[in-house]
Structure formats: structure tokens, C-alpha cells
Amino acid sequence: MQDAFLELIRRASTQLPKDVLDVIDACRAKEAPGSMAQSILGKMLENAELAKAKSVPLCQDTGTLIFYVDYPARMRDAEKKITDAIKKATVAATKKQYLRPNSVDPRTEKNTGNNLGIGHPSLHFHQWDKPHLRARLLLKGGGCENVGIQYKLPDKTLGAGRDFEGVRRCIIDAAVQAQGRGCAPGVLGVCIGADRGYGYVASKEQLFRKLGDTNPNKELAALEARCIKEINQLGIGPMGLGGKTTVFGVKIGTANRLPASYFVTVSYMCWSYRRKQMIIRDKKVRYA
């Protein structure tokens, strides 16, 4: 599996998904002709084309490697074997410069040089009843990670209560606070509920959804659409320099909460929306 994970990392680091490219192109067409916003979105497309052609990273900050792995019950010692394969692939990807050395020990302030360390890569395993293995990878840079935020409702400052209107106010505020610092236009992954820790895990999992999809829950779908519309009316624009495109999407999920707690967790993903998945079935590998 090491070679399969190495190729997954390479593709994630160097190739933007088609749905992301399509949205960037559509947003560029909506911006005023000759505007800074239109120019920036055009440069993003040029960057993506060059990165894919030369197989080089889309961004100098190749981010934290966040893996969500689903594996069948028949795989013995799956987590240990997969973890070993991922770590070896990560080291190899760093040597090949698909990844920048990005893992710093906070005790010594030394970079490990190979992207390995406590919690690096970030691994989330789930056993499921399907016969194949699925690995999803998100490369999340420091700029967008820095503007992620968690709210505790009620929030008197925002006038946000424990309802979907309160959630909407939190999501809008997250975009306002981020401005262009998260390398806008961004995508907001949101979890309503959960505890503090799982809220961030679940909000990042929302970022694996494709842009342009429709939330199966009608209430959440309506909230997503409203937030996208209202955030893009703020005028923050690409890189915070003004324009009609501040977010490409808002993806919202829920998790049950304690009666005493009501968290809204927002994970911000930058325009360099690096996500890929692979499926291994009958020793055959398919990437998407």
C-alpha cells in the first residue's frame, strides 16, 4: 500500500479537483472585467495548470496531512499496517518534494524534516461493512487552519441563540473574521453540535464533499445556500482584496450534543482546495 499512498499524496499536492477548477472558472466569469478579483482567480487557474503539468505542489505550504480511512472488517491489524504504509509514503513524498518539511516539535522547535511526529500525519480510522478500503486525504495549510474557529452558543456578542439563526450568525462571523487571511476564496466546513474535539474532526470531514453538491437535509441545504449568498455579498473577495467571491462553498453537518453545550465549529479551507481519495478493491487502486 505504500506506493498507493505515495501516489495519493502526489495527486493531492499537485492536482486540484475538477469541481474546484470549475467553480474557480465560474466565479472568475462573474467578477468585473479587468478587476483585481478576476485577475487573482485567473492566476489561481494558471497555478493549478502549471502544478499539474510539472507535478509540483500547488502551494508552498503543503499543509497537514489529514487522512480519513475506512477499512473492511476482514483486514487484520488494518490500522497498524495502514499507518505504517502512510508514514513510509509520507517520508518518500517529502524526499520527492511533493511535500514541504512541515512538522515542528513544539518542545524543541525543531522541524523533523520528514513530516512525521506526534499527530503527524493526522489519522482517523473507521471500520465499515464494505469490502474495499477507502482513504481520503486533505492537505490543509497553516493559513486556513489559523482562521478556523469554534463558537459556544448562546453568544451575546453576535446575538446568536441556540438555533439555526444563531448558527448562521456564527458562520457569517467566521468569514468576516477570516477576511483574506485564510487565502480566500475559501470553503467553510461546519459542524453543529458535538463536543469541542469532535466538532473539529467532523467539520473537516465536511470538506470532502464536492462543491456544487446538495446537502441531503433540506434545512441544512437551505442554510448552506443562504450563507454562501450572504458571505459573497460582504465584498471581501479573493485574498481579501475585494470582489464578489469570498467563499466557494459552505458545507454543514451535525453531531449530537449534550443538553448543556451547543458548539458551532468552522474549519476554513483555502482556495488551494487539496483533497483526493483512493479506493483499493481486489488489489486494484482507483483515485478520484
- pLDDT digit string, tens, across residues 232-278: 999 999 999 999 999 999 999 999 999 999 999 999 999 999 999 99
- What's the whole-number average pLDDT of the chain? 97
The pLDDT assigned to 73 comes to: 85
- Residue 65: partners with Cβ closer than 8 Å, 6 or more residues away: 9, 86, 90, 99, 115, 120, 121, 122, 137, 138, 139
- C-alpha span between 186 and 246 (Å, rounded): 7
CATH architecture label of 2-9+58-141+274-287: 2-Layer Sandwich (3.30)
Torsion angle of the four alpha carbons 78, 15, 200, 243, in this order, in degrees rounded to the nearest 10: -170
pLDDT of residue 283: 86
pLDDT band with cut points at 50, 70 and 90 for residue 78: confident
Per-residue pLDDT at 76 exceeds 80 = no
Domain segments of the chain as ranges: 2-9+58-141+274-287, 143-269
Quote the pLDDT of residue 74.
Answer: 83
Comparing 78 with 260, the larger pLDDT belongs to: 260
For residues 161-190, give the mean pLDDT. Answer: 97
Q: Is the pLDDT of residue 143 over 90?
A: yes
